[in-house]
Structure 1
């Protein structure tokens, strides 16, 4: 999909208002019925001159285990761009229900260090509706550049699943295959995640999706308990990779099974090196030490 001229938003969208509107839209669709036609909105949303808050940055770094620095972590930039992406998914002409959307995958390119003093322009659009064995998936593309027409310094493609939603005109032959079997390696770390993990990450990311906040709010959307944010898990794994990732890198993560809170999560990080000790790539995988079920996996590779 090629987006038309962007819709310039006067200010950063409020995630809380977007979730309230999404709930109202879901209720309206239940009453009136959905008339989705499988066509994504051919427009992008943009917010200009975004200035990160240094106190929020510090709180994020502390929660995720990132080193204190004036450089924005790649996951922090994702959180910064998330309200713009959400505003696209909250449009009246967006064909899938926003609430209950499941996060499947992220591919992020962090092309150069971005400092908190830099004003940024953020643009997001929807792309590539396609079938999934459990419903319909799509990509949300976000790009961040220095304000005033600078080069793209960060870009991300987030893949989401609307479970149980099968749109007309979507070729089911393209549905994703089921995950393969998994044999857990020896862990390099063990995380203890409290029941308040979702609320703690929401406080630094602004993502107050009800599925992450409490048992009651999660059950209202079909989950047996609250679940950890996918980007909390991925960003914490990235922080565990540490300085080996370098200044510019491609970061990938694929989510398989949700982490229901509270939880223990085992993590293994492996790093490949060149003969002279130069770093090439880190891979990581996380799983439940109790059941052995894989939660997510990914990689970080130098650009």
Structure 2
């Protein structure tokens, strides 16, 4: 696998412009392969002001340890770089983030310099198109501390013969643990913190251009907000898996529900009418 070391974080603004300009050229078929490049960036440090804004927006408190979802923020530009490279087969805009699994082996302190490695893997058929994974490994020194698998779907017609992914157990709507009212500007605020400026999150006009009645919340904000409710209860070594279902339209009200499940918890987000937005589970047994 070719490995390329980056000395600074890729410029997301430039990458999004590149994605828009090259989208018409990416016409991959069902058997399209993925580039095997791995990007590596070392010496990643955390800006405390940025972390504080992320914590406020997602509901985390101030601690010496990074929130379990925060390394996703620092690795995201590497992932976008991979998905805008010339040999990546799909347009970036239009990819659907359908699932995310994070495994934490050790706490990462705000003072720890990180090394992150990002690659693409596991292209496969899906009943609605093609799926693939973005794999991230985060190390502090020589110790692996955190991994992530983000699964994306490229819709390209139905394929009923494709295997259906195994799902996270359902948590039924009703009797929520908490109810959150989400403001209309949540997508813009999280985009500013995360760098994920997909137009479906930024304004009603750009969201409507992609088929949504109004802006939608980021899936990784939803995951982070759910996990903030478990702050202080998540063990140091744990795995957290979520699947994203119906998009969260903004503004809206969502219901959060948690239930016991195995060595951890099952949890879910539903709309006020009971439609599922997210289902997840965390376990004290890292996968």
TM-score (norm 2): 0.92
The aligned counterpart of 2:251 is 262
The aligned counterpart of 2:202 is 213
Q: Is the 8 A contact 1:270 1:282 kept in 2?
A: yes
The aligned counterpart of 2:264 is 281
Figure out how many residues of one structure are paired with residues of the other and give that number. Answer: 284
CA root-mean-square deviation: 2.3
Q: Is the 8 A contact 1:212 1:226 kept in 2?
A: yes
Q: Deviations over 1:34-90 (max 9, x none)?
A: 255611101111111111111001111111111101211111111111111111111
Q: Is the 8 A contact 2:168 2:280 kept in 1?
A: no
Tell me by how many angstroms 1:208 deviates.
Answer: 1.4
The aligned counterpart of 1:295 is 277
Distance 1:172 1:57 in 2: 45
The answer as to 2:144 corresponding to 1:152 is yes
Tell me by how many angstroms 1:182 deviates.
Answer: 7.4
Distance 1:157 1:203 in 2: 23
Structure 1 runs (4+) greater than 6 angstroms displaced = 177-182
Tell me by how many angstroms 1:247 deviates.
Answer: 1.8
Q: Is the 8 A contact 2:171 2:259 kept in 1?
A: no
The answer as to 2:113 corresponding to 1:113 is no
Distance 2:181 2:79 in 1: 30
Distance 1:171 1:230 in 2: 26
- Does the residue aligned with 2:230 lie in a helix, a strand or coil? helix
1:13-24 to structure 2, matched below 5 A, reads 13-24=10-21
Any stretches of 5+ residues in structure 1 without a counterpart? 274-279
Q: Is the 8 A contact 2:95 2:154 kept in 1?
A: yes
- Does the residue aligned with 1:52 lie in a helix, a strand or coil? coil
Among residues 70, 84, 98, which one is paired with 1:104 in the alignment? 98
Q: Is the 8 A contact 1:182 1:293 kept in 2?
A: no
Q: Deviations over 1:218-256 (max 9, x none)?
A: 222333321100000000000012211122211111111
Q: Deviations over 1:123-160 (max 9, x none)?
A: 1111111122222111110111114xx12111000001
Q: 1:140 to 1:172 in 2, by over 3 A?
A: farther
1:51-130 to structure 2, matched below 5 A, reads 51-130=45-124
Q: Is the 8 A contact 2:28 2:90 kept in 1?
A: no
Q: 1:182 to 1:51 in 2, by over 3 A?
A: closer
The aligned counterpart of 1:277 is none
TM-score (norm 1): 0.87
Q: Deviations over 1:157-188 (max 9, x none)?
A: 0001112368xxx9953354899997413101
The answer as to 2:181 corresponding to 1:187 is no
Segment drifting more, 35-44 vs 255-264: 35-44
The aligned counterpart of 1:245 is 234
Q: 1:13 to 1:300 in 2, by over 3 A?
A: same
Any stretches of 5+ residues in structure 2 without a counterpart? none
